[in-house]
Structure 1
Amino acid sequence: MADRHEHPEEPEEAEAPWEEPDADRSGLRDPARAARSLAALALAFEALALLLAIVPMRMILDDPAPATIAIAALVLASIVLAGMAKRPWVWPAGAVLQVAVIACWPIHWSLGVAGIVFALVWGYCWSVKTALGRPPKR
Structure 2
Amino acid sequence: MTSPERDPHTAEDPTGPPVEPPVGEQPTAGQPRRSGLRNPERAVRGLGAGTLSLEALVLLLAIQPIRVVGGDLGGAAIGAVVALAVAAVVLAGMMRRPWAWNAGTVLQGLLLLGGLLHWSLLGLGIIFALVWAYALHVRRVILG
Change beyond 3 A, Cα 1:48–1:27: same
Distance 2:65 2:132 in 1: 24
Q: What's the counterpart of residue 86 of structure 1?
A: 96
| Cα offset, 1:61, TM superposition | 3.0
| Cα offset, 1:70, TM superposition | 0.5
How many residues get paired? Answer: 116
CA contact (8 A) 2:56 2:86 kept: yes
Kindly report which structure 2 residues correspond to 1:1-138, keeping only aligned pairs within 5 A, or say none.
Answer: 23-24=31-32, 25-59=34-68, 60-62=70-72, 64-134=74-144
TM-score by length of 2: 0.74
| Cα offset, 1:57, TM superposition | 3.0
Change beyond 3 A, Cα 1:30–1:52: same
Instruction: Supply the RMSD in Å over aligned alpha carbons.
Output: 1.6
Letter in 1 for 2:89: I
| Cα offset, 1:20, TM superposition | 5.7
Q: Which runs of 5+ in 2 are unaligned?
A: 1-16, 21-30
Letter in 2 for 1:53: A
| Cα offset, 1:133, TM superposition | 1.3
**Which SS does the other structure have where 1:105 is aligned?**
helix
TM-score by length of 1: 0.77
Deviations 1:89-130 (A, max 9, x none): 111100000000000112111110110110110011011111
Q: Which runs of 5+ in 1 are unaligned?
A: 1-18
- The structure with higher relative contact order (CA 8 Å, sep 6+) is 1
